[in-house]
């Protein structure tokens, strides 16, 4: 039977999923954009869109962060993080 999470436990859950996914997105962005220019990628995939290079970096970072957040959340749920009782 699920037990309601305390505020401290909720913040710990949030921190243990958001922070690692943020760090993974930062590393993935550096590695990806070191070899791929967002402007060139835009011209090849969406030539009708008018988007700056900075917008490409931003969208890429948030996409990497979303993937990392999904991975961290799935790991948290599969490890039984929401059902543990700490005494």
pLDDT in tens, 21-30: 999 999 999 9
Q: What is the pLDDT of residues 4-53, one digit of tens each?
A: 678 888 888 888 899 999 999 999 999 999 999 999 988 898 889 888 99
Return the closest-CA partner of residue 20 out of 59, 83, 67: 67
Q: What is the pTM of this model?
A: 0.79
What DSSP element (H or E) covers 35? helix 7-35
Closest CA to 30 of 66, 72, 60: 60
């Amino acid at each position: 039977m699920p037990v309601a999470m305390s505020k401290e436990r909720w913040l710990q859950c949030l921190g243990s999923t958001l922070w690692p996914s943020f760090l993974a997105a930062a590393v993935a962005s550096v590695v990806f954009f070191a070899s791929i220019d967002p402007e060139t990628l835009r011209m090849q995939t969406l030539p009708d869109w008018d988007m700056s290079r900075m917008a490409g970096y931003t969208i890429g970072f948030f996409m990497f962060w979303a993937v990392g957040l999904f991975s961290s959340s799935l790991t948290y749920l599969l490890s039984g993080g929401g059902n543990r009782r700490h005494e």
